[in-house]
Structure 1
Amino acid sequence: MFNVPVIDISAYVDPQSTAAQRAEVARALDEAATTVGFMQIVGHGVPAAAVEGLTEAFDAFYALPLGVKKSYMPRAGENRGYSPPKSESLSMSLGVANANQMNDYFEAFTVGAGRSSYPQRLNLPESSYPENLWPDDVVPAFRPGVEEWFGHARDVSRKLLRGFTDGLGLPTDYFDDLVDHSIDVLNLNNYALPEGEIELAGELTGMGAHTDFGILTILWADQVPGLQILDPDGVWQDVQPADGALIVNLGDAMARWTNDRWVSTIHRVDPPIVDGRIIRRRSAAFFFDGNFDAVIETLPGCARTDRPEYSPITVAENINAKLAGLRAGIAPTDASREAQRLTSALGAARSDTQAV
C-alpha cells in the first residue's frame, strides 16, 4: 500500500531529547526519504498563530485586482514578486514540454533571502539573492505575516537537516558550510481566481508535473485535494496534510548528493473542480536550497556500483537552469537524468491510465 508516513520530529525540536530519541526519528526520516521522498511532519513547533498570520496575509493580497497584483511582478532576471497564471510551466524545469505549454493555472508570490539577509557575507550575487518586493502600500499586514512564517519554516528546515544528516550517518556539522548562506525561497500559491480574469486554452493544469530543485521543501497547504505524487508504479496518489502537519519532500539537490539513494519525487497539483468551478486551494512552499556556491556531488557512503554518479554542479547552476526552463521554456542542459526519470514515470502513468 502506498503511504506517506507521518513523522514526529519533536526530538529535533526539544533540546532535552536524548540521542536515542533522535536516532529513532532519523531512521524514520531515512526510510521515508529512501522509499517515498515525501513525509508529513508533526511536532515541528510552529505555532498556530503563525499559520493564521500567513493565511490572513495570503488572503489580503490575492483579493486585490489582477492589475494591482501585476504591479509587483519580478524585475528582469529576479525570482521575487508576483507571477500571474499561465506564466510558468513546471515540467519545463526538467526540459519536458507540457502539452499545454505555460498553462500552469496558479498565481504565486515569491519572497526569499536577499543579500541583506547575510550581512556578514560579502559579494553574494544579486541573481541568487535579490531583495524582496513587498506590497506594503496596499497590504501593510502582508510582510509581517509572511516574514513570521518564513522564519518558522527556515528554523524547521535546519532541524530537519540535522535529522537527515543523522539518517545518512554523516558528522553532525557536515552540511553547516553548505547552508550558512542558503538560498531560501517561499512561494505563496493560489489556485482559484475570480471568473473572467483569465481564459483557459486546452486542458486545465494546476501545477505541472515536476520535481523540486533544492535540499528539501516544507509545504503548508489547505486540507483541499489537489497535491498528487507519482508512486513507483506510475500511479498518481492524492496527498492531503493531516491536522497540524506540514508536508516535506526532498529536492533534486539532495537526490544528487545521495546519488538517488534518496528520492526527489515527481509531483503535481491537479486543482479540484466542482460543477465547472475551481475549489480554492492555497499553499505555501518553503524551498531550502543551500548556498549558491555549494557544490552538489556524491556524499560519503552514497557511491553505488550499479549507478553512475551525477556530474558536480553548484546549487546556483542547478536552480538557474531550472528557473530558465519553467519561466522561459529553455530546457536545462544538465538535467537529462532527472528528465528521463520524469518522462519514464509520465509514460508509465499514461500507460496505466489507458490500460484502465
Structure 2
Amino acid sequence: MEDDNTSARIPIVDFSSCNTFDFSNIHETNTEIKNIAQEIIDAFTEIGFVYIKNHGIPQSQISKLFGVAKDFFTLSHEEKSKFSRDAKVSNHGYVGLGVETIDPSKPGDLKEAFNISELWNDEISWPDGSCSNFRPTVNEFTSACTELALKILDLVAIGLDLKDKTLMRQTHKFIGTKHNQSTLRILYYPVLKTLSKGEVRLGAHSDYGSITLLFQDEVGGLEVLDKNGKFKPVQPIEGTIVVNIADLLQRWSNDKLVSTKHRVVVPNEENLLYVSRQSAAFFVHPDNDVIIECLDGSRNYPPISSFDYLKYRLNETYLK
C-alpha cells in the first residue's frame, strides 16, 4: 500500500432538504430526497466515504464536545486511568496511549480514546468530578448523532430501493440502550516529540458496524485507501462531517457498498507536526439480535447476528 499526497475524491452532499423532510413518511419521498439518497449510494459504492454539509448538528455543539474531551484527556494519567476500559467486560471507558494496535503490522496507536457505549448504565462512574458536564455533553451529542444516523440509514434504504424502506431504521431502533452496541468514541492524538519509523496515530482498519459519523478538527491526518491501493488524505472541510460505510453494511449489501480501510497519520506540514489532534466518531451498529444476511437474497455471507459479529471483531482486535 502506497501513499499519495493528492486528496481523496470524496463527494460532498448537501443534507439541507433532509433536515425538514418527515422521515416518518419515508414511502412518500420527493425527487430531491431521492437524488440525495442516490448521491450517498454512489459515494458509498465508489469509495465508501462521503462528506455531508448542512447536517443539522451545530458547530457549537461539536466544539462543546471537543472542549470536555480535551479537559479529560489533559488530566493526569493517574486520574484518567480511574475510568479505564476493561475490554473483557465492556467496550466503555478510557483507552490509554499505545494500548490499542488496530493494524497488527504497526506499533501501538499513538492515540487516547474514551468510548461511550453504556449511557444507559447507571452503575458506571463518569469523570464529571474532574471534567464538568462530561456525561451530559456526551449524552446530548449521542442523541444528535443518533438522529442524524437514522436519517442517513433511511437514505441508504431509499438509495438501495429496498422493498421495506423502513428496514434500516427498524433494525437500529434500540441505539442508546443495552440492546444496541453503537458507540461514541472521542479521540485525542497528543503532541509527538519524536516519531519512530512506522508509527502512526491510528493504524489502517475498516469499521465494524453499519456506518460511522466522523467529526474532525482542522489538523487533519485522516487517509483513505483508494481502489489503486494508495492512501489519500481526507482533508477537513469546514462545516462538514465525514460518513463512511462499515463492514456489516458491506456484508448486508452483498459488497455493493464499500467498507474502505482508513488510517490517521501525522501530517507532513511542518506547522502541524507538533500539534495535538482531536476527533469524535459515532460508530453505528444494528440492534444486537438483528440477523445480518444479504439483502439481495444471496448466500455469499452466512447469517450472523449483529452482536456476535461485533464480539468476534473486538476479540480479534483486543483480546489476542
- Matched residues, percent identical? 30
CA 1:14/1:42 → structure 2, altered by over 3 Å: closer, same or farther?
Answer: same
Question: Which runs of 5 or more residues in structure 1 are unaligned?
Answer: 92-96, 117-129, 331-356
CA 1:194/1:38 → structure 2, altered by over 3 Å: closer, same or farther?
Answer: closer
State the secondary structure of the residue aligned to 2:181.
strand
Q: In structure 2, what is the Cα distance between the partners aligned to 1:158 and 1:275?
A: 38
4+ long deviations beyond 6 Å: none
- The aligned amino acid for 2:111 is F
Q: CA deviation at 1:277?
A: 5.2
* Preserved CA contact (<8 Å) 1:191 1:280: yes
* Preserved CA contact (<8 Å) 1:80 1:131: no
State the secondary structure of the residue aligned to 1:154.
helix
- The aligned amino acid for 1:37 is G
* Preserved CA contact (<8 Å) 1:252 1:264: yes
Q: In structure 2, what is the Cα distance between the partners aligned to 1:131 and 1:163?
A: 36
- The aligned amino acid for 1:321 is Y
* Preserved CA contact (<8 Å) 2:154 2:169: no
Q: CA deviation at 1:201?
A: 6.5
State the match for 2:188 in structure 1: 190
Q: Does 1:89 align with 2:109?
A: no
Q: Does 1:293 align with 2:305?
A: no
TM-score (norm 2): 0.87
Q: In structure 2, what is the Cα distance between the partners aligned to 1:174 and 1:191?
A: 37
State the match for 1:351 in structure 2: none
State the match for 1:108 in structure 2: 113
TM-score (norm 1): 0.79
State the match for 2:129 in structure 1: 137
Q: Would you say how many aligned residue pairs link Structure 1 and Structure 2?
A: 301
Q: In structure 2, what is the Cα distance between the partners aligned to 1:62 and 1:162?
A: 35
* Preserved CA contact (<8 Å) 1:114 1:131: no
Q: In structure 2, what is the Cα distance between the partners aligned to 1:64 and 1:240?
A: 29
Q: In structure 1, what is the Cα distance between the partners aligned to 2:118 and 2:78?
A: 26
Q: In structure 2, what is the Cα distance between the partners aligned to 1:247 and 1:155?
A: 16
Q: Does 1:259 align with 2:259?
A: no
State the match for 2:237 in structure 1: 242
* Preserved CA contact (<8 Å) 1:85 1:107: yes
Q: In structure 1, what is the Cα distance between the partners aligned to 2:98 and 2:196?
A: 10
State the secondary structure of the residue aligned to 1:40.
strand
* Preserved CA contact (<8 Å) 1:25 1:163: yes
* Preserved CA contact (<8 Å) 2:216 2:278: yes
Q: Does 1:147 align with 2:139?
A: yes
State the secondary structure of the residue aligned to 2:89.
coil
State the match for 1:61 in structure 2: 72
CA 1:110/1:267 → structure 2, altered by over 3 Å: closer, same or farther?
Answer: same
Q: CA deviation at 1:311?
A: 1.5
Which of the numbers 287, 300, 305 marks the counterpart of 1:314? 305
Q: CA deviation at 1:49?
A: 2.0
- The aligned amino acid for 2:278 is R
State the match for 2:105 in structure 1: 98
- The aligned amino acid for 2:109 is D
Q: In structure 1, what is the Cα distance between the partners aligned to 2:21 and 2:159?
A: 18
CA 1:65/1:2 → structure 2, altered by over 3 Å: closer, same or farther?
Answer: closer
Q: In structure 1, what is the Cα distance between the partners aligned to 2:288 and 2:274?
A: 37
Q: How does 1:1-356 map to 2 (within 5 A)?
A: 2-15=8-21, 19-75=30-86, 76-91=88-103, 97-100=104-107, 103-115=108-120, 132-170=124-162, 171-181=164-174, 182-193=180-191, 203-272=198-267, 274=270, 278-300=274-296, 303=298, 309-328=300-319, 330=320
